[in-house]
Structure 1
Amino acid sequence: MASSKWPAVVEADLPHGYALTSSGRVSGVHEAGDVFKEAPFSDEERLAMDNALTEATRATKVRFNIYVGDLGADTAAGADALFATTPEAARSVLIAVSPNEKAIEVRSGHDVADRANDRVCQLGVTAALSSIRQGELIDGLISAVRVMAAAIGR
């Protein structure tokens, strides 16, 4: 019988905005301030995004990160500053969306820059645009992650 110092998680007891993933990991959203009365994405959308990120990371050994929020007036500089704070930045990819500026910025770390190059990043953005233009942000981001992961390979 397996045991752990961590108690079993009961999905029904999780706060709003959190979901138990198929791998047993808890995925949650942190809402800054009282901007939204409820989480901007459904549990299903967050779970689908988490699954896409997990699958892409496992398949490529590149850590994928998603950011949706304000990057400032200079979205490129905002993405550069944000990327430096992401976990394992050297071996990761950041897809950052600044909805108010209608901008998508992609950054890749120096350890994976040969695999997650400009062409791969552009493929990801192109894959996302159609869904995002139709108002399906999560679907667009999932498409971007999947296309980039397929292009990166192992």
Structure 2
Amino acid sequence: MAVREIVKVGNDVLRRKSRRITEINNETLEAIQDLKDTLYAGDGVGLAAPQIGILKRAFIIDLRDGSEPLILLNPKIIKKIGKYEDVEGCLSYPGHEGIVVRPRRVIVTGMNEKGRIVQYEAEGLMARAICHETDHLDGVLYMDVAKKVYKIEE
């Protein structure tokens, strides 16, 4: 469909709570395709719908490690296990990174792009990305939960 401009920090849309997706229709499928197109045009591992100006509860994560990308609608993290601290960045806040404590593992449920209820258990970077993208759907940015945020040299 289209590569969209990524919404940057300072735009109010990033602070708003996204709406649930109630049906898989053409609008939903177009939004999912735009998420894919926009993510793959850049170098991030995840992208949430609000980051392309769509206030719907959807995200895509692709660790770009040969595994299948995760497309999840209406995600809900139902269990968080352990903690670890690591560096995070965000396509909506280029040139910056932060130190964030996230769960080591998560169990998340939601809907796939075919409308089926799915559940995943993830750990490490995938668990971190699920938490980061789910936060976006609630208007929370990583710098809100970071221990420290700093500018990186390009």
Flag the structure with higher helix content. Answer: 1
Normalising by structure 2, report the TM-score: 0.28
Larger Rg: 1
TM-score by length of 1: 0.28
Q: Which has the higher strand share?
A: 2
